[in-house]
Amino acid sequence: MGVKTQEFLVLGGQTLTELRDKIFCLTDQMMQKAGQHDPSGYFLIEDVFCNDLRNPAAIDYSEPIFDWLRNNKDEARKKWECIITGELQQKQKAIIGDVASQLPHFKAVDMQKTRFCDLKFSLGAGYQYCHQGDCKHTIVIRDMRLVHPEDVQNRAAYPIAVFQLKPRVQKCYVCKIYRATKVTVDDKWAQGNPCYFCDNCYYLLHYKDGSLVYSDFSVYDYLHD
Nearer to Zn ion, 45 or 172 (CB): 172
Shortest CB 120 distance to Zn ion, Å? 25
Nearer to Zn ion, 45 or 201 (CB): 201
Nearer to Zn ion, 2 or 56 (CB): 2
Q: Where are the beta strands (DSSP E) in 2-121?
A: 6-9, 41-45, 48-51, 107-110
Q: How far is CA 225 from the centre of its chain?
A: 15
CA–CA gap between residue 66 and residue 70 (Å, rounded): 6
Burial of 148 (0-12, 13-18, 19+ CB in 10 A): exposed
Nearer to Zn ion, 16 or 201 (CB): 201
Q: CB neighbours of 49 closer than 8 A, spacing ≥ 6?
A: 42, 43, 61, 62, 65, 106, 107, 108, 109
Nearer to Zn ion, 65 or 139 (CB): 139
How many of the chain's residues bind Zn ion (CB under 5 A)?
Answer: 9
Find the angle CA(190)-CA(192)-CA(196) to the nearest 5 degrees: 80
Q: Quick check: 25 binds Zn ion (CB under 5 A)?
A: yes
> In whole angstroms, how far apart are CA 182 and each of 59, 208, 218?
33, 18, 10
According to CB under 5 A, which residues from 105 to 134 bind Zn ion? none
Nearer to Zn ion, 106 or 178 (CB): 178
Q: Which of 6, 14, 27, 170 binds Zn ion (CB under 5 A)?
A: 27
x-or-dash string of contact with Zn ion, 136-175, rule CB under 5 A = ------------------------------------x-xx
Nearer to Zn ion, 83 or 204 (CB): 204
x-or-dash string of contact with Zn ion, 170-209, rule CB under 5 A = --x-xx--x-------------------x--x--------
Shortest CB 183 distance to Zn ion, Å? 13
According to CB under 5 A, which residues from 49 to 78 bind Zn ion? none
CA–CA gap between residue 172 and residue 200 (Å, rounded): 10
CA–CA gap between residue 111 and residue 223 (Å, rounded): 30
Q: Which of 10, 69, 130, 135 binds Zn ion (CB under 5 A)?
A: 135
Shortest CB 37 distance to Zn ion, Å? 12
Sign of CA dihedral 157, 159, 161, 167: negative
131 closest CA partner among 49, 223, 67, 71: 49
Question: What is the binding site for Zn ion (CB under 5 A)?
Answer: 25, 27, 135, 172, 174-175, 178, 198, 201
